[in-house]
Copies of this chain bind each other. A is one copy, B any other.
Amino acid sequence: MNPTVTRQGANYTTADLGAADAWKGYTAEVAALPGVTIPGKFFLHPLLGLTGMEVSVNCLPAGMKVPFYHTHREHEELYVFLRGRGQFQVDGEVIEIREGTMLRVSPAGERTWRNNSQEDLYYLVIQAPQGGLKSPGTEDGVTVQRKVAWPA
């Protein structure tokens, strides 16, 4: 069963997805594949009410591969590999992926990936409109001039 919202306030929404092992049991649908339920994939955008990014949590089981190439109309993607090993392909180039590999792909890149290992592959996929960042994240933050207080 897919996760639900744990708690929300005026300026936040949170969900507890559990340890990565649990992600394997989640499912997703995507517009490009009508009628298909994808196992081991779950989108955070609709759940958390994200407005600037789409993020999915993913598990690709040992020996499995994504059965198509895909591109994007407007979105840049960042793949964050958290556990396991595999191979990624962009425009025909093969890239080895493993825990800690961070991979940016431009919208036009024709991409696919596979888990050619003996263990499950866990990763996040983050999307946001290409070129949408007007300033670096480090310049967008504002420090609040008030002492931090925590309940005892």
Contacts and interface: CB of A to CB of B under 8 A. Distances in A.
Given A18-B99, A90-B9, A136 B45 contact: yes
A62 interface: no
Interface in A78-119: 78, 80, 82, 87, 89-91, 93-95, 98-106, 108-112, 114
Interface residues of A, number: 95
A30 interface: yes
A37 to B, nearest CB: 13
A34 B28 CA distance: 43
Given A70-B144, A87-B150, A148-B68, A75 B104 contact: no
A101 B71 CA distance: 29
B82 A16 contact: no
Interface in A122-152: 124, 126-144, 146, 148, 150-151
Contacts of A7: 95
A111 to B, nearest CB: 8
A64 interface: no
Contacts of A10: 91, 106, 109
Given A45-B133, A65-B148, A68-B144, 4 more contacts: A12-B109, A14-B101, A22-B100, A74-B134
Interface of A: 6-7, 9-20, 22, 28-33, 43-46, 48-56, 65-76, 78, 80, 82, 87, 89-91, 93-95, 98-106, 108-112, 114, 124, 126-144, 146, 148, 150-151
